A and B are shown apart, each in its own frame.
Chain A
Amino acid sequence: MSTASVSVERPHAHTHELSFIRAYVFSEDHKVIGLQFFFSGLVFFLIGGLLALAIRWQLAWPWTQVPILSQAFSLTAGQMPPEFYTMLFTMHGTIMIFFVIIPMLNAAFGNYLLPLMIGARDMAFPKLNMMSYWVMFLAFPVILASFFVEGGAAAAGWTAYPPLASIKEAAPGSGPGQTLWLLALILVGTSSMMGSVNYITTVIKCRVKGMHMLRMPLTVWALFITAILQAFALPVLTAALFMQLLERTLGMNFFVPPGLLINGRTIAEAGGHPLLWQHLFWFYSHPAVYIMILPAMGMVSDIMSCFARKPIFGYKAMVYAIAGIAGLGFIVWAHHMFVSGMNPYLGVAFMTATMLIALPSGVKVFNWLATLVGGKIEFSVPMLHALAFVSLFIIGGLSGLYMAATPVDMHIHDTYFIVAHFHYVLFGGSTFAIFGAITYWFPKMFGRKMNETLGKIHFALTFIFFNGTFFVMHLLGIHGHPRRIADPTLYEFLHDVQSLNVFSTVCALALGATQILFVINMFYSLFFGERAEQNPWRANTLEWQAPTPPPHGNFPEPIEVHRWPYDYSKPGCPEDYAPQTQPLAAAEAATAH
């Protein structure tokens, strides 16, 4: 390759220096874009986490002065106003889902890993990729500004049910705050859509020679199927968001029925239906649950195989299971609406469809367990997180059965049982997988290793305090504790369980404090960590065959893939791993299937 010109086939193999702005700010390099998503995700993780701690404080000790925050409440003598509480949980949910978990898994790790893992030099559309970050970036000031507008940020729940969300008299946060919320989500959705298109095209068109579809690591499979899922589900959410936006700003009407009297204002001109929003919203937001868990499952599979030094058990079954979960995810949305007034016979169909998801999920759990059998398990920090993922995901998955069983759901719907359930899936599942992924790919991303001891302490404390915080929420919910109420002590029947609220809050505060360890470990290791070699975990996938950190264009030498990514401890191989680029040896051919 000449140094003077840029060839057509390898447009990113620049050898000349890019300016700082082109290299690190408006970069077209998938790795830089991935890191941009990564660091903004961490910042929002901090914001979302602090909101959660304020929620927990209010629930344990209602109306007492919240440390630090209380100074902002001069009108109420330092007490948290109830409308502030509704804003807290609305924004906590919104930020954690749309600004942390989805971007962290799909945009940060997706961008960083996907081209590397399939041996591509970059994404199929690098400019579109750059744009996907900068469209997302526009959403940051919008969502942050919404905290400071009149009435405060959105306060109608992350589900934004009309009429509460769409009539500005209905709640203080349903003024400009809700409009900004809708705009921010439209921007986030647009960004995700750009990412999806890019991932799908990249996987189909940009695989390196020898990388057949069935030689792709499960992380790539999961990201690929998730991208397809997003591409089908997101337009529905975006349309619904636009409909609510038009309803709020241009006087159109989709979700508000006629004749309402809200906070002194009669809404006569309307003619919509509130359930329409719920159907549209959940048609996206149930698949969104899988958008938040499937990539985590893929990463956990790769991490488990690497540290068990064994092939993943039932690779094809795992791929079909991911596809099965994604497909079924489209026909279960109404299980969020069993008490919404929807025709109850619809509920029966949705309950059965929901139960079907247990099949592919069961296959995955069984295969993860079977991957451990006969292995040589190293309890590294990423592996601990992967094992925790399996054990916590199973709790979140099984507690889903309570909701799928319609009569049981009647009792636990909109109680803390639901809160417990989705935190087991999204914190116990997705977030543990994110921690695992960070510790696993950190050496590749930054060229240094994270501190092992600190990592293990952080893991153990997070595991304990996570369960302390969220397990008791099952009991609160079983007792009937409604979600989203600012003061549980107002209800006599909840007096019995208030001690659980206090216990949960104490654990949550400890859980929050534990994360300081992670931040310290990350930033210390970023600058002073032990230097990592090219392939510190002795892993097979292609990203570990690239230099550390990978240069622009990823692979300085052309590579070719000769095998699947799970040849760990293969008989006939001298090492207990065989990178995908390593040609099959004669000794292996005899044992090959």
Chain B
Amino acid sequence: MKHLGSVLVYLSATLGTAAAFAGAETGPVWWLPPDYSTTGHHYDRLFNIVLYETAVAFAAVVIALVYFAIRYRHREGRRAEYDRGDQPKHIMITLALAMIVFVAIDMNIVHRSNVSIDEIRSGMPDPDDGLVVWVTGEQFNWVVTYPGPDGKFGTIDDVTLRNEMHVPVNTKVLVRLTSRDVIHAFNVPQLRVKMDAVPGMETRVWFEAKEPVELELACAELCGWGHYMMKGRLVIEPREDFERWLKEQEAFLLASSDKGAQSDE
């Protein structure tokens, strides 16, 4: 029974895997985080498709491996078959299986990915309309800029905050990203949003939240010793709350810049 140990190892690994998946099914805690975006279902649906396909492929290989290992274990008085596997029929079987895997799994995933990408990209709002927010990464803050009352960026009335971003619910938000120093990545897992903020260039990402909630904005690209604490607050709130908040910020900014102007004189 020399093989028993290894068989046990394989069985425990398989059961452990199954248990992990089963545990994931019953409780929401160890799985995809809740999704508050209108586009997140694209990602999640595709994730589940990949999961089912890979689970089937994995199970098939491991079951075959364990079965063959037991079935063809060393036993006295038997000689192994001399099978080179280079006959036309073998090559046909190999190629057929590979093609099935390729078409059924790979091309399926490629096709569905392309559909999702197109749908997500076609929804991207134009920078001229909808809510546009500039987000600039810096070590180790998210600098969030709204255009202010004149609706234009780069003017004196821009509203700029650090590590705090408010957006209205049920509204497409275009985030224009860049960085002041090193590469960062704008990441809100609960909105399925992730895009690098690269110095010297602009990248864009958009999302639409479907319910009011307060989320965490993380940095997903290593940006230095403080990478772990480059964290922002993303508040998704009803439109009227958002507008009131933005007015307050604009008023505050105006008041402080007036004060600044007076003190200059």
Contact = CB atoms under 8 A, between A and B. Distances in A.
Are A and B genuine complex partners?
yes
Interface of A: 81-83, 85-86, 155-157, 161, 163-164, 167, 170-172, 256-263, 273-275, 308-317, 339-341, 344, 347-348, 351-352, 355-356, 358-359, 362-363, 365-367, 369-379, 384, 387, 390-391, 394-395, 398-399, 401-402, 404-408, 410-411, 413-415, 456, 459-460, 463-464, 467, 471-472, 475, 478-480, 482-488, 490-493, 496-497, 500, 566-571, 576, 591, 593
Interface residues of B, number: 100
A260 B181 contact: yes
Contacts of B120: 407
30 contacts: A83-B225, A156-B222, A161-B182, A161-B183, A164-B182, A170-B139, A260-B181, A263-B181, A274-B200, A275-B201, A310-B83, A341-B198, A347-B117, A359-B102, A367-B85, A370-B90, A376-B73, A377-B72, A378-B74, A390-B65, A391-B62, A411-B32, A411-B192, A482-B219, A485-B218, A485-B228, A490-B231, A492-B216, A569-B80, A569-B82
Given A460-B5, A464-B9, A484 B181 contact: no
B46 interface: yes
Contacts of A391: 10, 13, 61-62, 65
B107 interface: yes
Interface stretch (B91-99, B146-154, B163-171, B255-263): B91-99
A479 B32 contact: yes
A340 to B, nearest CB: 5
Contacts of A567: 82
Q: Which of A311, A379, A405 has the most CB of B within 10 A?
A: A405
A414 B185 contact: yes
B72 A308 contact: yes
A316 B87 CA distance: 11
A86 B46 contact: no
Interface in B181-195: 181-183, 185, 187, 189-190, 192-195
Contact of A316 (B86, B110, B199, B219): B86
Contacts of A402: 47, 50, 54
Contact of B72 (A81, A257, A376, A460): A376
A42 to B, nearest CB: 25
Given A163-B182, A371-B85, A394-B62, 18 more contacts: A82-B229, A310-B80, A348-B117, A352-B110, A362-B97, A362-B102, A384-B6, A398-B54, A407-B116, A411-B47, A460-B9, A464-B12, A475-B20, A478-B47, A479-B31, A479-B189, A490-B231, A493-B215
Contact of A406 (B117, B139, B227): B117
B101 interface: yes
Contacts of A375: 68, 72, 80-81
Given A164-B222, A571-B82, A263 B139 contact: yes
Contacts of B182: 161, 163-164, 167, 170, 262
Nearest to A348: B114
A250 to B, nearest CB: 21
A485 B72 CA distance: 47
A374 B81 contact: yes
B225 A401 contact: no
Contact of B16 (A352, A376, A467): A467
B142 to A, nearest CB: 14
Nearest to B189: A480
B220 interface: yes
B52 to A, nearest CB: 12
Given A311-B82, A411-B47, A274 B183 contact: yes
Nearest to A309: B80
A398 B33 contact: no
A314 B181 contact: no
A1 to B, nearest CB: 39
Contacts of B199: 163, 256-257, 260, 274
B65 A369 contact: yes
